[in-house]
Structures are given as structure tokens and as C-alpha cells.
Amino acid sequence: MSDKNTLISHLHLQGISRRQFLKYCAVTASMLGLAPNQATVIADTLTGTPKPTVIWLSFQECTGCTESLTRSYDNSIENLILNYISLDYHHTLQAASGVAAEQARLQAMANANGQYVVIVDGSIPLLNGGAVSTIAGQSNLDMLRETVSDAALVIAVGTCASFGGLPMANPNPTQATSVQSLMQEGQIANKPLINISGCPPIPEVISGVVAYYLTYQALPALDEHNRPQIFYGKTVHDCCSRLTHYNAGEFAQSFDDVGARNGYCLYLLGCKGPTTFNSCSSIKWNGSTSYPMHSGHGCLGCSEPQFWDKGSFYSTLNTGPATGDGSSCSAPAIPVLTKI
């Protein structure tokens, strides 16, 4: 195996030391709920394994999911993983275009037949046989069907690919649907599928799931919506910094009132945290900086199916008292990799 084709050589090229990479692996193992000794297993596997073939397909989307993963603060591991895995085909990031780009996709599929990973962001429109959204003259549906046929794994990134998302919102003018629905209906091959929902999803969750699969060649435990339980097993309410105020019955009455500024709960202002499963309040966003409720706005429920059609984002939920005591919410700080 050529060393230049492995992650360790890629790390060296980026100026990242093995020690720094081990730190990242320790955090990833912790985020994934694995035993501490698994950090070395992840590091050894990722550094010694040839570059995986990943084909990233973007359909009806806003580029927010790709933006989430590629937004950079220094040398983030998400960028590193993305640079490492995504060289084969990515509509938005690749340099190639036109015929050359499509040939690259077909070539990648042929070279890694049965072993490549397909990542999809965006929903798939079915109106007029899919003719409302085409790439290189091929409908999104046909391209997905062709690409998924020999894949080892499909990862739907974002709520659009996972559940239909915004394009599927009423009245769903393009008859948008999700990867999961197409598999269930037999319109595309039924392959192992992981949904990483969120509008957009948390970048560390994307890279953590990819690292898990590359290390163990297996799927993490999934919930009823095919989402990794480790990241979607708790509601954002369960770990919210305003939870003590919720439990004490202290609620902000309007945005930016004294209560809101003092950390009171945003439930009355429409927060959907009690019914939304995601890791925003534990892993947080932008290098563990913040998350919506921390910044003063309620959760919109963006990681749940049909979140656009569930009523106003500012209507109070009618679910009765929610559970949550803030336990088991600590997430490791995400390390920033610095060059040696």
C-alpha cells in the first residue's frame, strides 16, 4: 500500500502531528461513547487505511450542509476529514466540471465497486420524472439510483436528504422526497443508510459518524429515523442551559426581556427543544461556542421530520411537561489542530 494514499501522509502534508491527531481521536471516541482505549484504534485504523472513496451528491439543497462542514476555524478536523475523503466527487467543491466531473464519478464507482460511500445532501424531486432538477442531463433520481447501486453505505446529510426538509414543505411543488423514502419504496437499491439530520447538521457529528464507519466498517446504533443514537438519543431540551429555569417555571415572556436575558426558558416563545432530538446543547456549534437557545432563540426543531409543516416556529408547544435533568450532557471540547 502506498503511504501517500493514507491519512497519516495527508496529515503530514497538512503539517498536523500524530500527537495532535491522537487528541482528536480521543475526543471522537468520547463523543461516540466509546471506551478511552478506542481512541488508539481509531487513530491506527484511520492513519493506516487507504483513502476511502466517497462520492458526495448534492441535489435540491441550499449548500448549507456543505457550508456547515467546510466552514473553517483554524485547522478543524472536519476540514481535514473532508479534504481527506472528498476528493473523488463533490458537486460544489470539486474543480472538475461537465463531462470530466461525471467521468470522475463513474470511474470512482468502478474502481471501488461495492466499497465506496455515497453522501447525499438535498432532497430528490420526482415531479415530471425528476426532470425539474438535473445534473449533466441526468435527473437527480437517476443519478442517485445509478450511484447507490454498488455502494457499501449511504449517508444522508441534512434534513433535506434525511426527511425531505424544506423542499418537501407544503405544497411540495417539486414532489421532493428523501433517500430513505426512495429505499423503502424500492425506487433505489436498499443499502445501509445513516441519516444525519439537521438544517444543517452539526459538523462534528458528520465527521464523527464517518470516522466511526471507517474505523469499524459498521454502522453505529441507530434510532427509529436511522439517526445515530449517540448523537440523537437526547432532546436538545435535556441538555439546555435554560433547563433549570424550565424546571423552576421561569419563562421569558418576549425576546430580549429581562427574563430572556437572564437565561429564562424560551418555551412560551415557541422553543421546540422538548421534542427535538439532536446534540446542539451538548456538542454545540462553531467549535463548542454556542447553540440557538444559548444565543437567545428557541429551537426550531430542524432535525425532525416535517419540521417546516408543524406550525409556526413561534407557537408554544402543547406537549405538557418535558423530562430532562441536565445529566450526562457533557461533551468533550473539540480540539483545534495547529500545525507543527
To the nearest 10°, report the CA torsion of 257, 263, 267, 271.
Answer: 100
Residue among 149 and 290 whose Cβ is closer to ligand F3S: 290
Q: Which three cell numbers stand for residue 243?
A: 433547563
From 24-32, 224-232, 247-255, 275-283, give the range in contact with ligand F3S by CB under 6 A.
275-283
Q: Does 122 bind ligand SF4 (CB under 6 A)?
A: yes
Name 54's bridge partners.
Answer: 117
How many angstroms separate the CA atoms of 309 and 115, rounded? 37
Query: Is 301 one of the binding residues for ligand SF4 (CB under 6 A)?
Result: no
* Residue selected from 26, 155, 206, 240 as contacting ligand SF4 according to rule CB under 6 A: 240
In contact, 324 and 235? CB cutoff 8 Å: yes
- Coil/strand/helix, residue 6: strand
d(C-alpha 8, C-alpha 46), whole Å: 8
Q: Which residues does residue 119 pair with via DSSP β-bridges, in sequence order?
A: 56, 155
283 binds ligand F3S (CB under 6 A): no
The upper half-sphere exposure of residue 199, i.e. CA atoms within 13 Å in the direction of its Cβ, equals: 24
Candidate list 46, 183, 199, 205; residue touching ligand SF4; CB under 6 A: 199
299 near ligand SF4, judged by CB under 6 A: yes
Rule CB under 6 A: say whether 278 interacts with ligand F3S: yes
- Contacting residue, 65, 211, 266, 299, with ligand F3S by CB under 6 A: 299
Residue nearest to ligand SF4 (CB): 273
Q: Are 332 and 77 in contact (CB under 8 A)?
A: no
Nearer to ligand F3S, 148 or 260 (CB): 260
Smallest gap from residue 146 Cβ to ligand F3S (A): 32
d(CA 86, CA 81) in angstroms, rounded, equals 8
| 3-state class percentages of the chain: helix first, strand second, coil last, to nearest 5 | 40, 15, 50
The residue among 193 and 300 lying less far from ligand F3S, judged by its C-beta, is 300
Main-chain dihedrals φ then ψ at residue 288, nearest 5 degrees: 65, 25
265 lies in the site for ligand F3S, by CB under 6 A: no
**Is there binding between residue 160 and ligand SF4 (CB under 6 A)?**
yes
**163 makes contact with ligand SF4 (CB under 6 A):** no
Nearer to ligand SF4, 78 or 121 (CB): 121
Residues engaged in binding ligand SF4 (CB under 6 A): 61-62, 64-65, 121-122, 158-160, 165-166, 199-200, 236-237, 240, 242-243, 246, 265-267, 271, 273-274, 293, 298-299
